[in-house]
Structure 1
Amino acid sequence: MRKLVFALAAVAALGLVGGAAHAEMKKVRIGTEGAYPPFNYIDQAGKLQGFDIEIAKALCAAAKFDCEFVVQDWDGIIPGLIAKKYDAIVASMSITAKRKEVVDFTDKYYNTPAKFVKAKSLKLEIPDDVAAADKKLAGMRVGVQRATIHENYLRAKFPDVEIVPYATQDEANLDLSNGRVDLVMADSVALSEGFLKTPAGKDFEFVGPDYNDPKYHGDGAGIAVRKGDDELRLALNKAIAEIRANGTYKKINDKWFDFDVYGK
Structure 2
Amino acid sequence: MNPTSILAATLLASGLAAQSAADTLTIGTEGAYPPFNYIESDGTIAGFDVDIAMELCARLEVECDIVAQDWDGIIPGLLANKYDVIVASMFITEERKKQVDFTDPYYLAAMTHVTPKDSGITEFTNDALSGMIIGAQSGTTQADYAEATYPDADIRLYPTQDEVNLDMASGRIDLQVGDMLPMLEWTTKSEDGACCELAGEPITDPAFVGEGVGMAVRQEDDDLREKLNQALADMRADGTYLEINNKYFDIDVYTMK
Question: Structure 2: where are the runs of 5+ without partners?
Answer: 1-20
| Aligned 8 A contact 1:42 1:48 in 2 | yes
Summarize deviations over 1:32-66 as a string: whole Å, max 9, x none: 00000000000111111110000111111122222
| SS of alignment partner, residue 58 of structure 2 | helix
Poorly superposed stretches of 4+, deviation over 6 Å: none
1:245 correspondence with 2:237: yes
- Name the CA distance, whole Å, in 2 between partners of 1:126 and 1:60: 45
Say which of 212, 215, 224 aligns to 1:220.
Answer: 212
- Normalising to structure 1: TM-score of the pair? 0.87
Deviations 1:191-232 (A, max 9, x none): 111344211111211111110111121111100001120011
Root-mean-square deviation (CA, aligned residues, Å) is 1.7
Q: Give 2:64's aligned residue.
A: 67
Letter in 1 for 2:157: P
Q: Which residue of the other structure, out of 168, 183, 191, is the alignment partner of 1:176?
A: 168
2:119 to 98, 118, 122: 122
C-alpha separation in 2, matches of 1:159 and 1:196: 30
Note if contact 1:31-1:90 (Cα within 8 Å) is conserved in structure 2: yes
What displacement does 1:262 show?
1.1
For residues 29-40 of structure 1, the aligned pairs below 5 Å read 29-40=26-37
Partner of 1:206: 198
Larger radius of gyration: 2
* Residue in structure 2 matched with residue 147 of structure 1 by the alignment: 139
Unaligned 5+ residue runs, structure 1?
Answer: 1-23, 128-132
Match of 1:157 in 2: 149
Residue 80 (structure 1) aligned with residue 77 (structure 2): yes
SS in 1 for 2:156: strand
Structure 2 residue matching 1:115: 3-state secondary structure: strand
Q: Matches of 1:47 and 1:61 in 2, distance apart?
A: 19
**CA–CA distance in structure 2, aligned partners of residues 186 and 145 of structure 1:** 8
Q: Tell me the distance in 2 between the aligned counterparts of 1:73 and 1:63.
A: 26
> Does the aligned pair in 2 maintain the 1:108–1:220 contact within 8 Å?
yes
Q: Is the 8 A contact 1:28 1:67 kept in 2?
A: yes
Partner-residue secondary structure (3-state), 1:175: helix
Equivalence map 1:178-193=2 (5 Å):
178-193=170-185
Matched, 1:91 2:88: yes
TM-score (norm. length: structure 2):
0.89
Take 1:137 and 1:41, find their aligned partners in 2: how far apart are those partners? 32
Return the offset for 1:26. Answer: 3.2
Count the aligned residue pairs.
238
Instruction: Give CA deviations for 1:56-95 in whole Å, capped at 9, x if unaligned.
Output: 1111112222220111110100000000000110000110
Given candidates 102, 106, 122, the residue that maps to 1:105 is 102
Residues in 1 aligned to 2:78 and 2:231: alpha-carbon distance in whole angstroms: 21
Give the strand-richer structure, 1 or 2: 1
Give, in angstroms, the shift of residue 126 of structure 1. Answer: 2.2
The residue matched to 1:108 in structure 2 has which SS?
A: coil
